[in-house]
Amino acid sequence: MIMPRRKAPPHMPPLSFGNRSEIFFLTVCTRRKKALLARQDVHTLLIESWRKANSWLVGRYVLLPDHLHLFCAQQSEIVSIQHWCAYWKRLCSKNWPRPGEYPIWQKNLWDTQVRSADWYEARWQYVLQNPVRHGLVTEPDLWPYKGELNVLEWHDP
């Protein structure tokens, strides 16, 4: 039996476990995987947009030419991760330095809630190696399009 293909990723509501951290891992792609993101002006624009869209905090992140990975944590329960992501994508698009590159973003995003400190650290190490795996640099420290806007520490009760 052939199963239908999913048209959009599932977005599960955040699970709360008492005093445990609620950190999410996101992957966001450009439309049709266009190589638009690994540029200094776009890096700056994304940081500005994330700071304006402050209902979620951005922690560690890595930009690659056609997608980005980031860790984030909710500041306000009023704004879902999908609405927050759509908002900062609109901010970026509105101020995009090269209008001939529209549309910029793929409609959806992939999100996963971090479940343990070990998973969090392993995923971050994987993300740091992405530019090396893609042949963009020989060492992760040489990749300029990464950072951490807010420290999102894992807490277990």
Note whether residue 50 is domain-resident: yes
User: How many domains does one find in the chain?
Assistant: 1
Provide DSSP, 115-143: --HHHHHHHHHHHHHHHHHTTS-SSGGG-
Q: What is the rounded average pLDDT for all residues in the chain?
A: 89
| 40-56 pLDDT per residue, tens | 999 999 999 999 999 99
* Backbone φ and ψ of 81, nearest 5°: -65, -35
Is residue 59's pLDDT more than 70?
Answer: yes
Task: Collapse the DSSP code of 97 into the 3-class scheme (helix H, G, I; strand E, B; otherwise coil) and give the result.
Answer: coil
Residue range(s) defining the domain that contains residue 70 = 23-148
Find all residues with CB under 8 Å of 35, minimum gap 6, and list them.
Answer: 65, 66
Note whether residue 137 is domain-resident: yes
Note whether residue 92 is domain-resident: yes
- The pTM of this model reads 0.86
Note whether residue 16 is domain-resident: no
Note whether residue 18 is domain-resident: no
| 104-141 pLDDT per residue, tens | 999 999 999 998 999 999 999 999 999 999 999 999 99
Note whether residue 6 is domain-resident: no
Note whether residue 132 is domain-resident: yes
127: domain CATH number is 3.30.70.1290
Note whether residue 109 is domain-resident: yes
Q: How confident is the model at residue 17 (pLDDT cuts 50, 70, 90)?
A: low
